[in-house]
């Protein structure tokens, strides 16, 4: 599955932050990302790469009152049709559909629970990202997870909007709803881990050693929010916050059977 060409695939994580250059240096130190900076006219855009393949972007937040955060772009065949359908299903279009020259057409959507996503019809596509290797490639985004108080309602919204499939796995902490395109799982939907947490999407980055990652985060001015801790049959993970305040999760996966 090439996420840039597959309708419904999460194709591009992007950091909106107060200091993109400093954030890029932090993630290079933590995850080993190769960096490329491009002048987009409205500021510098920092691209994170693994093995020369672009897989994330970092930029100054368009609005100063928005706290630093990672956002997710989902590939669609028709941005305007998806926006229209999202509003029919109870979502909100908070960033109107617009074109970015030489990139594509995009829009911002809040789902009925308030979690934010962006949708994009890509014009120019770079090298295909091989997400089948994301679980064994350190530094690559490998899993995306929605925390929401209304699990069933959110699953209904996204499956109708993007055609996702779902599968329930019984974990030690309870049922876990895996979201799929075809038979390819790429994320999950769970209730909030703590009371009062608003609905939001989170992203996981593959690492070789979660403990070493936690040490590197602290050595480079970041914060370890939780962990490292083990999730049975899944891996060892750590929740981190970069120096500007954005959150990510890093995970060293349990080796998968061949």
Q: Work out the average pLDDT over 112-132.
A: 83
What confidence tens digit (pLDDT) does each residue in 22-69 have?
Answer: 999 999 999 999 999 998 777 899 999 999 989 899 999 987 778 999
The per-residue pLDDT of the chain, averaged, comes to 92
Q: Work out the average pLDDT over 11-21.
A: 96
pLDDT reading at 258 higher than 90 = no
Cα 152 versus chain centre, distance: 21
d(CA 99, CA 62): 16
Cα 150 versus chain centre, distance: 20
Instruction: Report the side by side order of strands in the sheet with 174-181.
Output: 165-171, 174-181, 184-190, 141-147, 200-206, 247-253, 235-241, 223-231
Helix (H) or strand (E) segment spanning residue 24:
helix 20-31
Long-range interactions of 170-179: CB distance < 8 A, separation 24+:
171/231, 171/232, 172/232, 177/151, 179/155
With CA atoms as reference, report the closest residue to 193 among 171, 168, 173, 213.
Answer: 173
At residue 60's C-alpha, the angle toward residues 6 and 217, to 5°, is 85
Neighbours of 255 (CB within 10 A): 9
What number of residues does the chain have? Answer: 258
pLDDT reading at 124 higher than 80 = no
pLDDT reading at 131 higher than 70 = no
Give me the pLDDT at residue 102, please: 85
d(CA 87, CA 14): 24
For residue 130, name the pLDDT band (cuts at 50, 70, 90): low
Entry pTM: 0.94
What confidence tens digit (pLDDT) does each residue in 169-185 have?
Answer: 887 667 899 999 998 99
Q: Supply the angle between the helices 79-88 and 151-162 in degrees, to the nearest 10.
A: 150
DSSP-based three-state secondary structure for 188: strand
């Amino acid at each position: 599955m090439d996420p840039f060409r597959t309708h419904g695939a999460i194709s591009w994580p992007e950091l909106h932050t107060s200091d993109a250059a400093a954030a890029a240096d932090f993630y290079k130190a933590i995850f080993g990302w190769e960096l490329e900076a491009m002048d987009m006219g409205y500021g510098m855009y920092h691209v994170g790469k693994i093995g020369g393949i672009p897989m994330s972007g970092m930029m100054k937040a368009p609005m100063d009152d928005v706290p630093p955060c990672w956002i997710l772009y989902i590939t669609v065949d028709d941005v305007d049709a998806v926006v229209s359908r999202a509003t029919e299903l109870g979502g909100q279009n908070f960033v109107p559909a617009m074109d970015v020259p030489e990139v594509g057409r995009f829009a911002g959507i809040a789902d009925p629970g308030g979690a934010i996503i962006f949708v994009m019809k890509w014009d120019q596509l770079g090298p295909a990202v091989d997400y089948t290797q994301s679980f064994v490639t350190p530094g690559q985004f490998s899993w995306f997870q929605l925390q929401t108080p209304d699990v069933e309602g959110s699953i209904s919204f996204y499956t109708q909007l993007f055609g996702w499939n779902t599968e329930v796995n019984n974990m030690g902490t309870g049922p876990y709803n895996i979201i799929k395109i075809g038979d390819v799982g790429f994320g999950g939907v769970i209730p909030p881990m703590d009371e009062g947490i608003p609905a939001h999407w989170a992203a996981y980055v593959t690492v070789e050693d979660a403990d070493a990652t936690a040490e590197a985060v602290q050595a480079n001015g970041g914060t370890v929010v939780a962990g490292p801790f083990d999730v049975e049959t899944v891996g060892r993970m750590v929740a981190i916050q970069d120096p500007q305040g954005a959150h990510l999760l890093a995970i060293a996966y349990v080796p998968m059977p061949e």
